[in-house]
Amino acid sequence: MTSVQSLTRLPCGNRVLDLAQTHVMGILNVTPDSFSDGGHYSQLDAALRHAEAMVLAGATLIDVGGESTRPGARAVSPLEELERVAPIVELINRELDVVISVDTSTPAVMRETARLGAGLINDVRSLRRDGALDAAAATGLPVCLMHMLGEPGDMQDNPQYQDVTREVGEFLAERMDRCAQAGIPAKRIILDPGFGFAKTLQHNLSLFKHMEALHALGRPLLVGVSRKSMIGHALNRPVGERLHGGLALAALASVKGASILRVHDVAETVDVVRMIAAVESAE
């Protein structure tokens, strides 16, 4: 008989996530051009200090990214991305007790960071780059598949949907099928609706409102809306003033059943998650 515990356990390399609770994933961009914190953590010492601070604040995953995926971001070579990401993955694995997620679409980066201690592959392109499916399968790690149409450089060029929630669900289901064919079983898959990727404000708001429909796919959901333009457009706030809108969305996502919240502001989001858990566990 399959136990309840085994259904909520997600092996992530040499660590395990218990998906019976909501997790906070801290964002660590080791890039010079990310939309919110580009260049802040491109030096190894600064990156490690920031990762440590996020773990102390309650993050159970650190998402390391070496290629900006903001609209209009420049392409990065596999070697440049690997040189950015590999040293910090190795260092975090050695120094901190946390699941390391690698935000990458690049097969060589998947393989090498898995060897260095990464526990999760987080791919905004859903393993659609040449060789990515085989590389991800070879690592044995869980993967997060995200919905996006096109590429970061053109994804906001007039995106259109008849029913955004249904179409996002169909895309993710198709990618799960491709993963299964490549040897990545459903139990190793997390799904990300892709807020802010190839979607207008109204697409994002509608998708968020109807997010529960994606639970029909049977996999945990990762939600990343921290500091994104959907908050800026809805509230008329610049990047540095989007915390409160982001916390409102974090609370909504948690109540709607999201398993992982990907955020910049870890301590504040952890408080949101803990407060919701305290209420829900009361008699």
Q: Which residue, 59, 50, 115, 113, is CA-closest to 83?
A: 113
Known catalytic membership, residue 228? yes
Three-state DSSP at 203 gives helix
* Predicted pLDDT at 71: 65
* Predicted pLDDT at 38: 45
- Mean pLDDT taken over the chain: 91
For residues 22-38, give the mean pLDDT.
76
What does the domain layout of the chain look like in residue ranges?
A: 4-280
The catalytic residue among 84, 228, 237, 274 is 228
Distance CA 117, CA 1 (A): 32
For residues 245-254, give the mean pLDDT.
98
Q: Per-residue pLDDT tens for 150-196?
A: 666 555 656 789 999 999 999 999 999 999 999 999 999 999 999 99
Q: Which residue, 50, 61, 51, 52, is CA-closest to 16?
A: 61
| DSSP string for 220-238 | -BEE--TT-HHHHHHHT--
For domain 4-280, give its CATH number from 3.40.50.2020, 3.30.390.50, 3.20.20.20, 3.30.1360.30: 3.20.20.20
Provide the pairing of β-strand 99-103 with 120-123.
Answer: parallel
Percent of the chain with pLDDT over 90: 83
CB 80 within 8 A of CB 31: no
* Predicted pLDDT at 43: 82
| DSSP string for 148-183 | -SS-TTTTTSS---SSHHHHHHHHHHHHHHHHHHHT
pLDDT tops 60 at residue 94? yes
* Predicted pLDDT at 174: 98
Distance CA 52, CA 26 (A): 10
